Structure 1
Amino acid sequence: MTNGQESGGAPGYGAAPQQNPYGQGAHAPNPYAQPVPPQQPYGRPAAASNPYAQPAADPQPVPYPRPVPPQQPDAARRPDPAARFEAAPQPGGFPGPAPRRNRAAVLLQFLLQWIYAPLWILGLVAVFVVLILADYSGGGPDSDGWVRVNRSFIPPRRLRAELTGRPEDWERYVTPLLERRIAAAEATHAAGGGTVQPDLGREVSVGLAVRLYRGLGADGVVRIAERFGWQGVPNGTDAEQVRLVRRFPAPAALAAPSPQDPPAAPGTPWGPQPTRFALLLPVVFLLQIVYVPVYGLLTFWVNHPEPDRWERWGARWTVGPRAFKAEFTNSPAAWDRHIRRILKRDATRELARPADGYGPLLAPDGTFLRRITLHRATYCGAGAHRALRIAAEEGWVLDPAYAPDPVNSLRLCRADHR
């Protein structure tokens, strides 16, 4: 017995055959009309709920918006190369290999760089010393290229690729370099970095100059980046650089107490934290005059695997004049005054920013979120929950784009309208 269709597409039971078996009709839908695309974990992220809409009634009111839990990417699944950021680039959308450099020029630069690079560094040190002694406060050049000695330096690992020009040699050089930069960018996201997107997700980016992948081309770099779940950005890539991005979804939930909850217990992540020994603070206050300048230079020149390492170090070994009294006395009233003072300062600065500067974060109705951050040194002795209660009095709530990290900082937001 047939199921209603014979071979060749003719209907059974003696009915007249259809003229167009794949046309849109009432009897049979077109199986090739709009296939359901497979879900891509690194394509466009799932749209989160509108953070500016009024929340529905809840037995336990929450003072901050909660986004809809987005689809989490499957770490075990290798990203589909066809899934690209925003518009999928057409073939040839990324520049290919750049012209090969002259071998003699490459060898000459490699030999001479061991002479001029140290002299260049000594010259920079001399310039900075002169500027400090002269109390120079004028403007500098628009670009910092004259400071970056490494831009004209050919490491031995790249010399072979420069001389042979073979794509496989360039790929062997670029792959570990790109892997390190991607790992550093993802660590930055884990520490709270990245650019907030309209759906409350965050985007981190990596850029490579053409000198680092000359014989491979931007298309080859994008192909390597896709192995790590990253995508190339055609509109941010040109003949001089390639730009790679990865989007991370917003946290599924904010595991944090409400400002109306009872105070958190001391020693817990949201409660008061132990402060430094009171008699040690005057010593730290005086010694930091000597080592804070060195600390500032290290934060500029030395990249640490933990992006917030220097910030945590500064919170431990420095003390500001405004926080000195609060930490020295460890009085709840002094901590409250300090929190309110810092909150007012940062909020005033943020509220002074024009709404047009938020760009794509503006909702269609002109609503957007203003953001500030309170560091641990601001509320250490009072606790993050106490700082959250004080901030809630001024309309500031936990930022739903970040996972709460009360031990180190409080990221707050407040809805505003243009």
Structure 2
Amino acid sequence: MANGQGHGGSTGGYGAPPPQNPYGQPPYGQHHYEQNPYEQNPYEQNPYAQNPYAQPVPPLQPYPPRQPQAVPAQQAHQAHTAPQQPYAADRFGAPPEPGAGRPGGFPGPAPRRNRLAVLVQFVLQWIYAPLWILGLVLLFAVLLLADYSGGGPDSDGWLKVNRSFVPPRRLRAELSGRPEHWERYVAPILARRIAAAEAAHAAGDGEVRADLGRVMRVGLPLRFYRGLGAAGVVRLAERHGWHGVASGTDTGHVRLARHFPAPAALNAPSPQDPPAAPGTPWGPQPVRFAPLLPFVLLLQVLYVPVYGLLTCWVSRPEPDHWDRWGARWTVGPRAFRAEFTNSPAAWDRHIRRILERDATRIRAAAARTPGTTPGTTPAHRIQLKRATYRGAGAHQALRIAAEQGWTLDPAYLPDPANSLRLTRPDLP
């Protein structure tokens, strides 16, 4: 073509005939290609024919086959925390096998319940649950009027109806059985329990370890995570910094724990320092109006039982709510004289009496328990309430305790406005 867009023409440049084909093939025109695209090709072969040198390609394996040997702890942790897709098989194929093992030794989803049984339970619970609670209230009133002094089941045993109650949020998860529905149901429950445990740790709760750190524990029953499995609950807990703990033979619960390190430093005065000024956190606190104390002593006979009854039914964010608020409106028989007179000598005698009482209790408990491991010195811990040193001050209580060998417990942050936590080696 004369316009230079074809292969015609005798001049070079664009539009000139292409260079000589080393394999003698005709030009790649459409009509030639349709006739015989591989004409005069010395290596002529079907491009889609089987490669004579091809071998079956085995499936890729990111890791070599595992050998029966111990797996390092770091590698096991990485395998346990690796990203997973637990719901792919449930969405596009067969559901996960109930009770199948998961990384870390935690079981998978439990067998599903019958859908008809779940629906019947959900409908009938609105009838039998109120009747059950009413029966418990009447039984409690009868036992109270009959002056019953025998033993009985704990509060969880009295209120077992809560275990058989299916809330509407769990109904969808029970009927569908899909792990994502169970995860949406159990995630807020787990978050609330973890938040409550961390608040309890901040208030001074927890099991003290040898490194002075404290361990908090949380448990969930099987009815909360049936379709997700313990492995799924552990995966959710790891987002909050918690880890799973082996439950042993208890397959109806999943156990979680978290280790909180000891405080880096204790911002507290030394017993040898000058006395703290009144009104400061470590100094003496204002006492209540003395003529009002006898009325407080009489009215607390009614106030304390009512407060205890309310706290049995109301869940509060602070586990030490009584120490922070309830004790502010009561006065103990031992502290009545010290607070009524507000005498430094009376406060000192009261503090020494409380320390001696706690030491006697520790000696009695040590006499009932077997001996400790040779070469170790057990540490005993006590807690002095604010009412014990209100008029004397936390610093004065610390100075009196130091005379008897007590020091501030390094496992807790000092909180002189509410309590003092002390420790000392084994008592003589």
TM-score (structure 2 length as normaliser): 0.73
Question: Would you say 1:187 and 2:194 are equivalent positions?
Answer: no
Q: Distance in 2 between matches of 1:37 and 1:213?
A: 27
Which letter maps to 2:412?
Answer: Y
Work out the CA distance in 2 between the residues paired with 1:187 and 1:99: 35
Deviation at residue 309 of structure 1 after TM alignment: 1.8
Q: What corresponds to 1:331 in structure 2?
A: 343
| Corresponding residue number in structure 2 for 1:384 | 394
Report if aligned partners of 2:335, 2:350 keep a CA contact under 8 Å in 1.
Answer: yes
What is the match of residue 20 of structure 2? none
Q: Does 1:115 align with 2:127?
A: yes
Q: Which amino acid aligns with 1:118?
A: P
Offset at 1:116? Answer: 1.6
Shift >4 Å, 4+ stretches? 355-359
Structure 1: which amino acid aligns with 2:285?
Q
Deviation sequence 1:62-109 (CA, Å, 0-9, x none): xxxxxxxxxxxxxxxxxx937xxxxxx983611111111111111111
- Residue 355 of structure 1: how far off its partner (Å): 7.5
Alignment deviations for residues 271-314 of structure 1 (CA, whole Å, 9 cap, x no partner): 10111222222222222111211111222232211222233222
**Distance in 1 (alpha carbons) for counterparts of 2:405 and 2:249:** 41
Q: Which runs of 5+ in 2 are unaligned?
A: 1-71, 83-100
Contact 2:287–2:390 (CA under 8 A) maintained in structure 1: yes
**CA contact 2:108–2:230 (8 Å) conserved in 1:** yes
Q: Please, which moves more after superposition, 114-123 or 183-192?
A: 114-123
Instruction: Pick which of 305-314 and 170-179 moved more.
Output: 305-314
Preserved CA contact (<8 Å) 1:351 1:370? no
Following the alignment from structure 2 to structure 1, what is the Cα–Cα distance between the partners of residues 163 and 320? 26
Residue number in structure 1 paired with 2:156: 144
What is the percent sequence identity of the aligned residues? 75
The residue that corresponds to 2:409 in the other structure is: 399
Q: Is the 8 A contact 1:236 1:243 kept in 2?
A: no
Secondary structure of 1:243's partner? Answer: strand
Which has the greater radius of gyration?
Answer: 2
Deviation by residue 1:153-206 (Cα, 9 ceiling, x = unmatched): 111111111111110000000111101110110010011111111111000010
CA distance in 2, matches of 1:302, 1:364: 46
- Matching residue's letter, 1:162: E
Which amino acid is 1:383 matched to? G
Q: Give the alignment partner of residue 96 of structure 1, picking from 105, 108, 111.
A: 108
The one-letter code matched in structure 1 to 2:278 is: P
C-alpha distance 364-97 of structure 1, shift in aligned 2 (>3 A):
farther
State the SS of the aligned residue for 1:352. helix
How many residues end up aligned between the 2 structures?
Answer: 338
Residue number in structure 2 paired with 1:301: 313
Q: Does the 8 Å CA contact 1:233/1:245 hold for their aligned counterparts? A: yes
Is the alpha carbon distance of 1:90 and 1:347 closer, same or farther for their aligned partners in structure 2, counting shifts above 3 Å? farther
Tell me the SS of whatever aligns to 2:398.
helix
- Give the counterpart of 2:377 among 367, 373, 383: 367
Bigger shift: residues 196-205 or 106-115:
106-115
Alpha-carbon distance in 2 for matches of 1:148, 1:333: 53
Query: Structure 2: how far apart are the matches of 1:226 and 1:358?
Result: 38
RMSD: 2.7
The CA distance in 2 between the partners of 1:220 and 1:358, in whole Å, is 41
C-alpha change, 1:205 and 1:264, in structure 2 (3 Å) is same
Equivalent residue, structure 2, for 1:155:
167
Structure 1 segments unaligned to the other structure (5+ residues): 1-35, 44-79, 83-88
Is contact 1:281-1:328 (8 Å) kept?
A: yes
Task: Please tell me whether the aligned partners of residues 247 and 254 of structure 2 are also in contact (alpha carbons under 8 angstroms).
Answer: no
CA displacement, residues 24-49 of structure 1 (integer Å, 9 cap, x when unaligned): xxxxxxxxxxxx998xxxx9xxxxxx
8 Å Cα contact 2:379-2:426 kept in structure 1: yes
* 1:417 to partner: Cα distance: 7.5
